[in-house]
């Protein structure tokens, strides 16, 4: 179990490697929230985590490697989708979850930091895109179920609908600075549900 | 005219101060695209612009000051809204303009760089929010005109509709990494127009 060559994610939960990973990723998150990605330093993260520097350098090797693993861990940890029985109910649950995460002082800063890091590092960008793919895949079945219930046309692209719920909340966080309140979340969900019902997210030929 | 104390924007166009500002902001944009905000250096920008270092330090004083002025200039330079006679036509023009800008190799990288800079500097964040406020205010009359034509309910919040058009495109640029193609722009416009028509962007009491 103690092998540092084990790939993240393939480790027995509760083993020493998993405990080290959890401590290091928690410390990496703390450091990112405090100092941003340009203040992230593997030796500092090792110190915060109470783990040997050599272990951290050997396993994560670089800041982008560490941030990528943090994003993979965030994808693994994230909550399962809702199943309220209606598309509007499910999308509202999704929007409120995204809103609560982005409005949380620690999580909001963490998301800003990894998104900023992804703008200037390809490996971080890939990990970030993987994170969103995982989240969108988790929630897409809400739209598939709505299509089976006849709430939306059968050719609706489920991934587009889920992305449409998150997008206005990220736009507020990163661009316009408008408040990330629950009204914004509920409006994002309602707009996506209505547009989906009216066929705005029909699959396009690629 | 030559006074370095003149506020940006209050300068006679074509004067020496305006020419210096244009050269410095062009150089700042080039440097941001090449090296990101953490590689931005006032002396390097002065060199690229062919302007004395002292002038640049005296007028912009810091990297956040320079980036804020660049954003104010981008807001001043941006194109006027469309008036096609239909909400869908106007929103599609807006979405395609945003899409073309974000998908442009230079402009897309520049937007990523200033958004990343805004995540870790309050002054840059304020300038970024001002930029989006200016853009949204420019396009909001499209929705007001649609309300007068009866295309959307009279209590529609015009700013929310315009933000809803941009949001999915920024989400692709910054988070999910999905392609920024014209189909994405047209879908963002169509979804916002439909949701607006169905009352999803009614003003909420504040």
CATH of domain B15-74: 1.10.10.60
Task: Answer yes or no: is pLDDT of B32 > 80.
Answer: yes
Would you state the pLDDT for residue B103?
Answer: 96
**For B112, nearest residue in chain A (alpha carbons):** A119
CB-CB neighbors (< 8 A) of B120 in chain A: 36, 38, 112-113, 116
Q: Would you say the ipTM is above 0.95?
A: no
Cα separation of B72 and B95, whole Å?
Answer: 21
What Rg, from alpha-carbon coordinates, does chain A have? 19
For residue A54, name the pLDDT band (cuts at 50, 70, 90): very high
The DSSP symbol for B50 reads T
Nearest CA in chain B to A132: B176
Indicate yes or no: CB of B187 within 8 angstroms of CB of A119.
no
| Option in A125, A172, A175 nearest B177 (CB) | A125
Helix (H, G, I), strand (E, B) or coil at A49: helix
pLDDT at A10 over 60: no
Is B200 strand, coil or helix? coil
In chain B, where the domains are located = 15-74, 79-197
φ and ψ of B37, to 5 deg: -70, -30
Mean pLDDT confidence for A62-90: 93
Q: Confirm or reject contact between A122 and chain B (CB < 8 A).
A: no
pLDDT beyond 70 at B77: yes
Cβ distance B168 to A170 less than 8 Å, yes or no, reads no
Q: In Å, how far are A100, A141, A187, B151, B159 from B206, measured between CA atoms?
A: 19, 34, 14, 25, 15
- Cα distance from B191 to chain A (closest Cα, Å)? 5
Q: Record the pTM.
A: 0.90
- CATH second-level architecture of A79-197? Orthogonal Bundle (1.10)
- Mean of the per-residue pLDDT values of chain A: 91
Give residue-wise pLDDT tens across range A173-205: 999 999 999 999 999 999 999 999 999 999 976
Give the residue from chain B lying closest to A126, CA to CA.
Answer: B177
- Residue A5 CB partners (closer than 8 Å, separation 6+): none
Instruction: Answer yes or no: do A187 and B178 touch at CB < 8 A.
Output: no
If you ran DSSP here, which 8-state letter would residue A177 be given?
-
* C-alpha distance across the termini of chain A, in Å: 45
- pLDDT of A5 strictly over 80: no
Of B172, B187, B195, the CB nearest to A191: B195
Cα–Cα distance list, A132 to A12, A78, B14, B119 (Å): 25, 11, 47, 19
Beta bridge partners of B202: B156
B144, pLDDT greater than 50: yes
Residue A12: predicted pLDDT: 53
Query: pLDDT tens, B83-133?
Result: 999 999 999 999 999 999 999 999 999 999 999 999 988 999 999 999 999
The mean predicted confidence, pLDDT, of chain B is: 91
Report the alpha-carbon distance of residue B120 to residue B114 in Å, rounded: 10
Task: Quickly state the pLDDT bin for A38 (edges 50, 70, 90).
Answer: confident
């Amino acid at each position: 179990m103690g092998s540092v060559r084990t790939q993240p994610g393939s480790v027995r939960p509760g083993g020493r490697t998993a405990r080290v990973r959890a401590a290091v990723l928690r410390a990496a998150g703390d450091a990112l929230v405090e100092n941003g990605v340009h203040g992230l330093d593997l030796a500092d993260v090792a110190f915060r985590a109470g783990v040997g520097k050599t272990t951290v350098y050997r396993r994560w090797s670089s800041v982008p490697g560490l941030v990528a693993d943090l994003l993979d861990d965030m994808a693994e940890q994230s909550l399962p989708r809702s199943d309220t029985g209606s598309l509007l109910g499910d999308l509202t649950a999704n929007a409120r979850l995204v809103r609560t995460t982005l409005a949380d002082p620690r999580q909001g800063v963490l998301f800003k930091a990894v998104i900023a890091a992804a703008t200037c590092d390809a490996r971080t960008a890939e990990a970030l895109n993987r994170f969103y793919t995982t989240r969108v895949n988790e929630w897409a079945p809400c739209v598939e179920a709505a299509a089976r219930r006849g709430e939306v046309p059968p050719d609706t692209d489920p991934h587009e609908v889920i992305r449409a719920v998150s997008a206005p909340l990220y736009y507020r966080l990163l661009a316009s600075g408008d408040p990330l309140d629950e009204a914004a979340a509920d409006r994002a969900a309602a707009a996506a549900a209505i547009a989906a019902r009216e066929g705005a997210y029909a699959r396009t030929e690629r």
